[in-house]
Amino acid sequence: MISNKTNKIKAAITAVGGYIPEDFISNRDLEKMVDTNDDWITARTGIKKRRILKEKGKATSFLAANAAKDLLNKKKTDPKTIDLVIVATITPDYHGASTAPTVASEINATNAYAFDVNAACSGFLYGMSTATSYIESGRYKKILLIGADMMSSIVDYTDRSTSILFGDGAGAVLVEPSANNFGWEDEYLRSDGVGAQWLKVKSGGSLYPTSKESLDNRWHYITQDGKTVFKSAVSEMANAAEQIIKRNNLNPEEIKYLLPHQANKRIIDATAEKINLDKNKVLMNIEEYGNTTAATIPLLMYDYEKEFKEGDKLILAAFGAGLTWGAAYLTWAYN
């Protein structure tokens, strides 16, 4: 069992993988679908295109499995050595059956058990908290955490307020005991059910089961109170990041990068400004992918992996439906 200098096991991300569909909907495409235009979308969100999984018979498990396979191939890891597979998602293949077991079977992780985490855009952070706890306990040594969402399955493409935002994708990380004392340092996670009404899919759950009424009213699509969500996201993401920075006696100069949830460029910019972080330290890929919900932070790791060096101090921050939010402090564990 690998442990650090204090004989306490520290969890570390030791590999990343990702998968993005080839098909996409551009802002120009959306101009033909709803009353909007490229300039307005770009100015309001920073998004130029959002990737869409169009293949029939493919769902979130397909995205997640491909991200996992990418990681396993790069890391040259035998899937049979994986102890646990966690999938963070709000778009499972089925209600009543977790997507993670499907993914574990697809990648041949036959010795792992698997389950889903539903915390919307904060799902990756919640999943990392769970994976880290298992590693630190000494119970497991290899955990595969995947953030994956097929948001196109719940987006109403006649609704200008949501159709411009969301895309499909998946990012995966391998969590193992740290070999060099770098890894998951601290986390600050919160939730508030009072705000559940502000960002949700109304039907399909036990409160409003799918019915003719729900279909006629289009309750099976995601809706949001945009202004309220925006204000809360800026406030809570920044506050969570500030709590992490203060608790760990960090200053902006020490922080290598901020990896924020990719919901909206204005939210990201406002969060960075509130914690006095130089814009060059803020990572973004929202222009190409849109908001992929639980996949945004691991996809940032996937896209920028070559920029990270062993020991780099990273701050992660997210805000999502539920309401859920939080931040974390991670020291990168490999070159």
| pLDDT tens for each residue of 94-114 | 998 999 999 999 999 999 999
Give dist(CA 323, CA 61) in Å, integer. 25
Length of the chain as a residue count? 335
Q: 328: pLDDT confidence band, cut at 50, 70 and 90?
A: very high
Give residue 4's pLDDT. 44
- In the block, residue with structure tokens 């570390």: 12
Active site residue 261: yes
- Ordered by where they begin, the domains of the chain are 11-177 (3.40.47.10), 184-283+303-331 (3.40.47.10)
Looking at the chain, the whole-number percentage of residues with pLDDT higher than 90 is: 84
**Which tens digit of pLDDT belongs to each residue from 7-66?**
799 999 999 999 999 999 999 999 999 999 999 999 989 999 999 999 999 999 999 999
Residue 225: what are its φ and ψ, rounded to 5°? Answer: -90, 95
Q: 168: pLDDT confidence band, cut at 50, 70 and 90?
A: very high
Catalytic residue among 121, 217, 220, 248: 121
| HEC secondary structure over 70-131 | HHHHHHCCCHHHCCEEEEECCCCCECCECCHHHHHHHCCCCCCEEEEECCHHHHHHHHHHHH
Give residue 231's pLDDT. 86
Average pLDDT over the chain, rounded to whole?
Answer: 94
Give dist(CA 136, CA 146) in Å, integer. 19
Look at 2-6, 170-174, 191-195, 242-246 and tell me which has the smallest mean pLDDT.
2-6
**Which tens digit of pLDDT belongs to each residue from 126-137?**
999 999 999 999
Catalytic residue among 27, 66, 239, 261: 261
pLDDT value at 2 more than 70: no
User: Which is it for strands 143-150 and 84-88: parallel, antiparallel or unpaired?
Assistant: parallel
Active site residue 291: yes
